[in-house]
Amino acid sequence: MENRIEISHVDKFYGRKRALKDVTLTIEQGMLGLLGRNGAGKTTLMKCLAALHTIQGGSISVCGIPIENAREIRSIIGYLPQDFSMYPTMSVWESLDYLGLLSGMDKTLRRERIEMLLKRVNLEEQRHKRVKALSGGMKRRLGIAQALLHDPKTLIVDEPTAGLDPEERIRFRNLLCEVAEERIVILSTHIVGDIEATCEDIAVMNGGEILWRGTVSRLLENTNGKVFTINAEKKYLAEIKKRFIVTGMLVQNEYVTVRIICEDKPGIKANATPPNLEDAYIYCLYSNGCDVSGGV
Amino acid sequence: MLFLKECKKIIFSLVFVIYCVVLFGFYFTQFANDCKKPLEKPIEGQTDYGTIEKEVPEIMMPAAIEGLVGEYLSGEFSAYPYGFYKCVKLKEKDRKKLAEIITELSGITKETLEKFDDYEPSGYVMGEDGGLAYTDGNIPEINIPPTLTYDDFRELMRKADKIIGGGSKYSDENIIGNFSRIPKTYEDALEEWERFYNDDKITGAYARLFCDYLGIIVSTLPVFLAVFLSERDKSSGMRQLVYSRKITSARLIFTRYFSLVFTMIIPVFITALLAFANVKKIYPDNELDKFAILKTAVYWLIPNIMASTAAGMLVTEISSGLIAIFVQGAWWFASIFASSELTGSIRNFTFVMRHNSLLGYDIFQNEWHTIVFNRLFFTVISLLAVLLTAVIFEMKRRGVFNVKLFKDRSRKSKA
Amino acid sequence: MSNYLRIAAVNLKHNTFPHLMLALVITLITPAAFGISSLDPRESAQPLEMFLSLTGTALLTPVFMPEQNENIRSLVRSKRTDYLSVCLIRTAYSVAFLAVIFGVFAVIFGVFTVIMHSCESDVTVRHFIGGFASAVFLGSLGFFFSGAAGSCTAGYMVSIMYYICNFMLKDDLKSLYLFSMSSGSFEEKYFLLLCSAVLLALTFASVGFLQKRGIGI
C-alpha cells in the first residue's frame, strides 16, 4: 500500500459557513506542518482526515483507502485532538488499555504496545495515576501514546504543543520527529517555532484554503530581501506601523528598532536582514492578500 | 450587565424551552381543562349535594368498627403509609393483638372471630341483571359496649392503626374522612358556593386552583435549570476562568440565582395572565380581581421556584448535578405523596402545597398562618442555601474545599 | 467478541457504575416504601410501574454522558470501533440490568402468590413485561433527549417530567400511559415497548446523523 494521503478539491460546510474551500493537497511520508491562524481550518481539515467529519465535495484517500471507509481509515490513523481529555477516573494504564480495545487490538498486543509506549513517552512511573491528576505535559504525552498505540500509518496531531512549558515542548517535538521516520505525521500549529524545529514540509492555511505549499527553505527564499530593520525615534512608531508590516520591535530608551516586511527597500535608513520563518509566514499571508495589519 | 447576560444564557437554552413546554402543557391540560364552565350554584331540591367531613361520634364509631372487623376478617388492610396504596397483611402475633382491640370495641369474642368463615364484604356488587346492587356484606353482629367512650374508641383506633403500620383508614388523619361523612344540606352547599362567590370573589378560588396545579411542577423543574447552568460551567472548563475573575463569589452566585428565578417566573406569570383571561371568559359579567391570580402565584409559587433552584445549585456545587436531580426528585416525591389529601393538608413544612378545589375558602383561611410561616420558611431557607453555595464556591476558589460528598465519576476535568 | 465484553466491563466500571448504584438505591427503596406482599395483581403492579420504573431513567439516560466532553468524544470516535457500538453496548447492558431488576421483583411476587394461594399464576410474567416496558420507555425518553440534544440534563428533565405527568394525565396519555397495569389494563405495554424500540433506534440514527454532520454528540 502506498504511504500517501491525497486530498483533492475538498469542501466542507458548517451550515452555510464554508470551512474548507477546494482544498487539494498530497502528503508523503514524513512530517507535514499545517500552519495557520486560529480559525484557518486546520482542525477541520484534520478532523476530515480522521474521518470525524464528512466532506461535502471532493475526495480524500489515506494510503489508498477512500475516506468514506471510516472504519478502515480509523485503524490506520492515530489522532490526537487539540484538547486531549480522557475519562478522569481512569488511570493512565486503563485509558491506554481501553482505547487500544476500541482500536480492536487483542490483549497481548495491547500489553506489549502499552509497555513500550509508556517507556517511550516516559510515563512509566505514572501508569497508575488517574488522568485527572496528570500535569498538562503528562497528559499530552499520554495523548501521543494513545495515538501511536495501534501503530498507525498516519499520525494526526492538532496543536500538540499548546500549553506546554519550553522543556516539555522540546521533548515533545523530538518525540514527533522520531515517530515521523516511519510514517506520515501531520502537525497543525499556529506556533511558528514548532514548525521551524520539526518540519521541512509545510502548508499554510487561511480562511479554509491552502495558501501555500512547499518546504521551509522555499518559504524563506520567497521572503529574501523583503525584511528590513529600521532604527527610529519612538514617536514615529505609529507612522511606521501604518505603512509597513511590523513583525518585531525592540524598544531602547527613546529609540526603537523595528523589524518590517516590505516589497522594496523603504529608504536608506533601513537595513536588509535575513528573514526568519515568522517573517516568511507573515509575508506569505500578506502576499496572498490577507490582512496582516494586526501583526505585532 | 451580568444579570441580563445570565438571563439570556438561560432563556436560549434547551432546558428552558422544555421548562416552558412542560409548564404551558400543564396549564392547558390541567387548569384550563378545569376551567371550562362556571361553578354551578346549588339549586334547592337537588337530591345530592355531596358530603362533607364532620366529626360525629355517633356516625363514626359504628362505621369505623364495622370497617375494622371487615378488614380483619378479609385478612387484608389497605393503607397509604407513603401516599401509595399498600396492602398490609398482619403476622399472627399482630392479628392476636388486633383481635383483642376488636373485642374491646365491638364485643365480638375471639372465638367468634376465629370461627367466622363466611365473611362477605359490603359494597356494590354486580347483580344478575347486570346492574349494581348494594349488599350489606356478612360480618358478626357488633354490639358496641355502652361503657366505651368516644375518647377510648379513638385511642383504640390509634392502636389499631399502629399495628397495621400507619396510614390506615383508622389513623387520626384518615378516620374522619373515611367513616364520618354527612350529606351536605342545601344550606351547606349554598353557603360554600356563596363563599366562593362573595369572599373569594371567584378569582381567589381560581388562583388557588392555578397554583395547586403549577405548584406541582415548579417545585421540581427549576432544579434542572440550576443543574444545567452549573454543569455547563464545569464541563466546558470555564471554572478556572470564572474563578480568576474579580467578581466576588457571593455576587456571582446570587446573580446567577436570581437570574434563574427571574427567568423561570416569567412563564409562570404569562400563564397566570392566561388563567385570568380564561376565568374572565367564563364569568364575563362579574367584577373580577385582575391581580388575584398573579398575587397568589407570587406568594405560593415563587418560594417553590426559589427553594428548588437553591437546592439544585447547592447540591451541584457540593457533589454533582446527577445527585442534585436525585435529591430534588426524592424531596418532591416525599412531599407530593406524604399526604393523600388534595385539600386542607398544608402544614408548616409542606413543600408542595395542594388545594385542588374551587371551594374550601374557609379551610384555606384557617390555614393562613401556617401558610405564611411555610412560605416564609422556604424563602429564608432558600436564601441561606444560596449563601452556603456562595461560601462553598469561594472555598473551592481558594482551593480549600476538596471534599466531595459523593465521588462524581461522570465529570470530566480538564485540569 | 471478547473485545466487546471487555469494552462492556471497562464501561461498567468507569462510566456506568454510579448510575447503576442509583438504580440499586431506587430498587432497594421500593419494597420499603410499598411492601411487596400484596396478592392482588393490580396492587402489586403499583410499586413496579409507579416507582421501580424510575430505574429506567437512571440507567438509560446517561448512556451518552461520558462523552459529553467534546474532546473525549472526538478521541473515542477516532478509534476503529464505531462509537455507536460502544453506546450500543452500554444500552444493551443497561436494558439487561432493567430486565434483571424487574425479573427479581416478578419472581418475588410469584413466590408470594404460590405460597399464599398455592397456585401458579401468569401474573408475574405480566408484571415483568409491564414494569419493564414502563421503565424502558421512561429510559428511552431520557436517552433520546440526551442523545439528540446532546444534554443529559435535558434527558433527565424530560424523562422525569413525563413520569410526573402520568400521575395527572391518565386519560390524555392513552396508550402511552405508564401505570396502566395498576388500573387493570395491559395492552398499553406492547405499545410502550414498541415506542421504546422506535425511540432507541431513532436516537442512534439521529446521533449517527449529527456525527456525520459534525455536530452534536
Could you report the per-residue pLDDT of B269-291, keeping only the tens digit for each?
999 999 999 999 999 888 888 89
Tell me the DSSP string of B238-289: -HHHHHTSSS-HHHHHHHHHHHHHHHHHHHHHHHHHHHHHHHHHHSTTS---
Give pLDDT tens digits for C83-118: 999 999 999 999 999 999 999 988 888 777 777 665
Residues of chain A with a CB closer than 8 angstroms to some CB in chain C: 14, 47, 50-54, 71, 74-75, 77, 79, 81-87, 89-90, 94, 97-99, 101-104, 106-107, 146, 150
For residues A224-241, give the mean pLDDT: 87
pTM of the predicted model, to two decimals?
Answer: 0.79
Query: Does C6 contact A at CB distance below 8 Å?
Result: yes
Same-domain pairing of A118 and A257: no
For the record, the C-alpha cell of A118 comes out as 509508556
Domain assignment present for residue A84? The answer is: yes
Q: Is the pLDDT of residue B96 over 70?
A: yes
Between chains, do A87 and B412 touch, taking CB under 8 Å as contact? yes
Using the Cβ of B414 and the Cβ atoms of chain A, whether some distance falls under 8 Å is answered with yes
State the total domains in chain C. 1
| pLDDT, average across residues A108-113 | 93
- Sign, Cα dihedral of A148, A153, A159, A164: positive
- Measure Cα distances from A264 to A85, A210, A227, B340, C151 in Å: 48, 26, 9, 90, 57
Residues A76 and A173 occupy one common structural domain: yes
Mean pLDDT rounded to a whole number for chain B: 84
Distance from CA of C15 to the nearest CA of B (A): 7
Q: What is the ipTM of this complex?
A: 0.83
Same domain, A145 and A107: yes
Once rounded to an integer, what is the mean pLDDT over residues B202-207? 91
Amino acid (1-letter code) at residue B247? I
Q: Are residues C15 and A71, on separate chains, in Cβ contact within 8 Å?
A: no
Q: Are residues A225 and A125 in the same domain?
A: no
CB within 8 Å of A219: residues ≥ 6 apart: A202, A204, A212, A277, A280, A281, A284
Q: Report the alpha-carbon distance of residue B110 to residue B96 in Å, rounded.
A: 9
User: B85 in contact with C at a CB cutoff of 8 Å?
Assistant: yes
- Note whether residue A212 is domain-resident: no
pLDDT band at B415 (very low <50, low <70, confident <90, very high): very low
C10 falls within a domain = yes
Q: Does residue B116 have a pLDDT over 60?
A: yes
Q: Which of A45-54, B66-75, B226-235, B332-341 has the lowest mean pLDDT?
A: B332-341
pLDDT for position C118: 52
Q: What is the pLDDT of residue A196?
A: 80
Across the range C45-61, mean pLDDT stands at 91
Would you tell me which residues 211-240 of chain A have a C-beta closer than 8 angstroms to some C-beta of chain B? none
pLDDT in tens, A9-28: 999 988 788 899 999 999 99
Q: How confident is the model at residue B295 (pLDDT cuts 50, 70, 90)?
A: very high
What is the chain C residue with the closest CA to B165?
C35
* Domain final position from A176, A207, A238: A207
Check whether A296 has a pLDDT greater than 50.
no
A110 with A53, same domain: the answer is: yes
Q: Within this chain, do residues A59 and A35 fall inside the same structural domain, yes or no?
A: yes
Within this chain, do residues A130 and A31 fall inside the same structural domain, yes or no? yes
Residue C217 is assigned to a structural domain of this protein = no
Q: Which domain holds residue C189?
A: 2-212
Beta carbons of A187 and A43 less than 8 angstroms apart: no
pLDDT digits (tens, 9 = 90+) for A173-199: 888 888 888 899 999 887 888 888 888
C214–chain A nearest CA distance, Å:
5
Stronger pLDDT, B148 or C144, i.e. the higher one: C144
Q: Would you say residue C216 has pLDDT above 60? A: no
Task: Give B310's pLDDT tier (boundaries 50, 70, 90).
Answer: very high
| Rounded CA separation A90/B102 (Å) | 63
Q: CB–CB of C161 and B22 under 8 A?
A: yes
Q: What are the cell numbers at B191?
A: 353557603
Q: Give the pLDDT confidence of B149-183 residue by residue, as tens digits.
A: 999 999 999 999 998 888 788 988 788 878 888 88
Q: Out of A159-163, B164-168, C171-175, which region has the weakest mean confidence (pLDDT)?
A: A159-163
Residue B344 to residue B274: CA distance in whole angstroms? 26
**Are residues A231 and A193 part of one domain?**
no
Contacts of B76 in chain C (CB under 8 A): 38
The yes-or-no verdict on residue C35 having pLDDT over 80 is: no
In angstroms, the separation between the Cα of residue B406 and the nearest Cα of chain A is 14
Q: Specify the DSSP element, H or E, that contains B386.
A: helix B368-397
With respect to residue C183, please indicate whether it lies within any of the assigned structural domains: yes
A87 and B CB contact within 8 Å: yes
CB contact under 8 A, A101 and C75: no
Same domain, A203 and A226: no
How many angstroms away from the CA of A101 is the closest CA of chain C? 6
Three-state DSSP at A114 gives: helix
Last residue of a domain, which of A207, A234, A266?
A207
Q: What is the CATH number of the domain that holds A199?
A: 3.40.50.300
Domain coverage including residue A75: 4-207
- Co-location of A49 and A152 in the same domain: yes
Residue at which a domain ends, from A161, A178, A207: A207
Choose among C157, C167, C168: nearest Cβ to B18: C157
Q: Please check the confidence at residue B411 and state whether its pLDDT lies above 50.
A: no
Same domain, A120 and A45: yes
Q: Is residue C97 in some structural domain?
A: yes
Burial A10-19 (b: 16+ CB within 10 A, else e): bebbeeeebb
Same domain? For A180 and A271 the reply is no
